């Protein structure tokens, strides 16, 4: 099994092409082809994590996404954020999330707390 690290964009493209061919073959797990697919996929994941990192989502965008995903209105957010004017201020980035809002949004809507506190962490770094 001749497998090499992915160092360049050309290596990356070639590995993706090989993964695609192996996936069409649909090898059994534990077979030589299945093991090769597993190893190549791991290499691609490591390369992508290093060269194409995905940052944490913006807290306000996470709230808007959850609203869209769950069909929620501004009125539905009032128990978590406060009156509708306060909800609009948060959604329009006029007011930051408070710790209480973060807790309620996390518990009530299941938005990960680490996503919601990203805004607070950015504010503290700027000071």
Work out whether the CA dihedral 113, 114, 116, 122 comes out positive or negative.
positive
How many alpha carbons lie under 13 Å from residue 90 in its C-beta half-sphere?
A: 26
Closest CA to 35 of 21, 49, 22: 22
Q: Give residue 124's pLDDT.
A: 45
Q: How large is the average pLDDT for residues 76-87? A: 97
Q: Which CATH superfamily hosts domain 59-126?
A: lambda repressor-like DNA-binding domains (1.10.260.40)
The separation between the first and the last C-alpha atoms of the chain, rounded to the nearest angstrom, is 53
Closest CA to 43 of 4, 13, 14, 8: 4
Closest CA to 60 of 107, 108, 111: 111
Q: How large is the average pLDDT for residues 21-49? A: 94
Distance CA 49, CA 116 (A): 22
Please determine, for residue 112, whether its predicted confidence score (pLDDT) is greater than 80.
yes
The band of 92, judged by pLDDT with boundaries at 50, 70 and 90, is very high
pLDDT per position as a tens digit, 114-126: 999 985 555 545 5
pTM above 0.75, yes or no: no
How many alpha carbons lie under 13 Å from residue 108 in its C-beta half-sphere?
A: 15
Domain spans, the chain: 9-51, 59-126
The band of 1, judged by pLDDT with boundaries at 50, 70 and 90, is low
Q: How large is the average pLDDT for residues 52-64? A: 90
Q: How large is the average pLDDT for residues 27-54? A: 94
The band of 10, judged by pLDDT with boundaries at 50, 70 and 90, is very high
């Amino acid at each position: 099994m001749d497998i090499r690290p992915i160092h360049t964009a050309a290596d990356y493209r070639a590995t993706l092409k090989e993964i695609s061919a192996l996936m069409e073959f649909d090898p059994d797990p534990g077979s030589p082809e299945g093991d090769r697919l597993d190893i190549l996929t791991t290499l691609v994941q490591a390369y992508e994590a290093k060269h194409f990192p995905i940052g944490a989502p913006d807290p306000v965008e996470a709230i808007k996404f959850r609203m869209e995903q769950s069909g929620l209105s501004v009125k539905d957010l009032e128990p978590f954020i406060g009156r509708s004017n306060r909800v609009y201020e948060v959604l329009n980035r006029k007011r930051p999330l408070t710790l209480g809002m973060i807790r309620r949004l996390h518990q009530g809507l299941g938005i990960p707390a680490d996503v919601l506190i990203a805004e607070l962490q950015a504010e503290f770094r700027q000071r």
